[in-house]
Amino acid sequence: MKEITAIIRMNMINATKEVLLKSEFPAFTCRKVVGRGKKKVKFLMIDDESIEDKAVEDRKFVEDISEIHRLVPKRMLTMLVNDEDVNELVELIIDTNRTSNPGDGKIFISDVTDVYRIRTGEIGEEAL
């Protein structure tokens, strides 16, 4: 068994959810997260005029546009799948979320040694 963790853009969650449901991967956990990659965040949405209107003493504004403090909102999906389904699931996530721009996201794959279903006591693949 594998755990697939995908971090994707906020605006791609509905499209991703629809693809997963149609492709027989309906079970997943979704969380709101914030983070950043290695590259600097570009603030193209802020023009010089909006900066001039704000006082430099406005600490909140300075932090909001600061490279150091800026964290980008994302969604993190977690799914457990059988080993033979990993490639299909990863391809679905990539195909749905790829825009070829920085910030499309990341996918992490981890081994899962065991799973227990609390309600029934099932163990392993039966618990999926």
- pLDDT tens for the chain, residues 1 to 128: 999 999 999 999 999 999 999 998 989 999 999 988 776 655 554 444 445 555 555 666 656 556 566 788 999 999 999 999 999 999 999 999 999 988 899 999 999 999 999 999 999 888 88
Instruction: Specify the pLDDT at position 69.
Output: 63
Q: Which domains does the chain have, with CATH numbers?
A: 2-36+71-127 (3.30.70.120), 38-70 (no CATH)
Distance between start and end Cα atoms, the chain: 9
pTM of the model: 0.74
Please report the DSSP string for 84-95 in residue order.
GGHHHHHHHHHH
Instruction: Specify the pLDDT at position 36.
Output: 82
Instruction: Specify the pLDDT at position 72.
Output: 87
Whether 77 contacts 103, CB under 8 Å: no
Instruction: Specify the pLDDT at position 68.
Output: 60
Instruction: Specify the pLDDT at position 127.
Output: 87
Instruction: Specify the pLDDT at position 54.
Output: 52
Measured CA to CA, the distance from residue 37 to residue 99 in angstroms comes to 16
